[in-house]
Amino acid sequence: MTQNTTTEPSTNSISAESLTQFCDEYLSASVFKDYAPNGLQVDGGTPIQRIITGVTACEALIDAAIADNADAIMVHHGYFWKGEPAPITGMKGRRIRKLMQHGISMIGYHLPLDAHPVIGNNAKLADILDMTITGALYPNESHPVGNIATCTPQSADSLIAKITQALGRTPLYISSNYEYHSGNNAKTTANSERVIKRIGICTGGAQDMIEQAAIMGCDAYISGEISERTTHIARELGIDYFACGHHATERGGIKALGEMLAQKFGLPVTFVDIENPA
Ligand SMILES: [Zn+2]
């Protein structure tokens, strides 16, 4: 049995307040009207020397942070969402109790992390799909979330293959080329003619922004989730839809934020992917 005595423990550390202040500014957090508070949501009360990043502050991620001796977890989906019950009981109580007992801070960034032009979820998704962001889905909003991108003109099949390879899962594809055959099984015809080159992108649960993508003249729209209505909207507005997974489309932003912070502050930051098929 060997013991590693050559690695010196990291002496770099930063307070939760300083780390959050830096991220708030970097992500322009204060300009977004969000559904949850952005920044420091749970103060673990200890200086931060090791950070775990992940998509959601679920119990498994907290356990990973405890196992790694981390002092902070940084996530895209934190706690205290608008409309949720305030008492810190049940599942929420257990999560927060674990964080506090182990002196782990929890820092969350939601819309600011979707929207950031360099390390944001939409920017990172466009990167790995070889797309170039050219504008916003809602260009008249002062701090819009959601983008329009262009790519090498390609078929739906080619884009499905690209997404599958980039995200490690096959998207649920809704072709806009649909015909209803009375008295027969209604069926979607193969979308062989459509050439996709202008795409709307918004990660996560942004399926209802498909209408805006159609208004903006996109050939296709990419998001994470799909609702029953999304199928009909895609068919009736003539826009292809690719549901690529909420979790799968939102790994990029928090991972990139962690990598940037590791560089900036010289701290060990580890991205932990708690697998989630939804
Ligand atoms: Zn999300």
Q: pLDDT (tens digit, 9 = 90+) per residue, 29-42?
A: 999 999 999 999 99
Portions of the chain given CATH number 3.40.1390.30: 16-110, 116-249
Instruction: Summarize the confidence of residues 15-28 as an average pLDDT.
Output: 98
The span from the CA of 163 to the CA of 158, in Å, is 9
* 181 labeled part of a ligand binding site: no
**pLDDT for 2:** 40
The span from the CA of 73 to the CA of 56, in Å, is 10
Instruction: Give the pair of three-digit tokens for residue 28.
Output: 């322009």
Instruction: Summarize the confidence of residues 145-170 as an average pLDDT.
Output: 97
To the nearest whole percent, how much of the chain has pLDDT over 70?
Answer: 92
CA 102 to centroid of ligand 1, rounded, Å: 26
In whole numbers, what is the pLDDT of the chain averaged over residues?
93
**Distances from the Cα of 240 to the Cα of 149, 190, 226, angstroms:** 15, 11, 12
136-153 confidence digits (pLDDT tens)? 999 999 999 999 999 999
**pLDDT for 194:** 81
Q: Report every protein residue that has its C-beta within 5 angstroms of ion ligand 1.
A: 204, 250
Instruction: Summarize the confidence of residues 153-163 as an average pLDDT.
Output: 96
CA 32 to centroid of ligand 1, rounded, Å: 15
CATH of the domain spanning 16-110, picked from 1.20.1250.20, 3.40.1390.30, 3.40.50.300, 3.40.50.80: 3.40.1390.30
CATH of the domain spanning 116-249, picked from 3.40.1390.30, 3.40.50.1370, 3.30.1220.10, 3.40.190.10: 3.40.1390.30
Strand partners for 201:
147, 222
Residue 231's pLDDT band, with cuts at 50, 70 and 90, is: very high
Q: Which long-range contacts (CB under 8 A, 24 or more apart) does 256-260 make?
A: 256/118, 256/119, 256/124, 257/23, 257/27, 257/53, 257/74, 257/109, 257/113, 257/119, 258/51, 258/53, 258/74, 260/26, 260/119
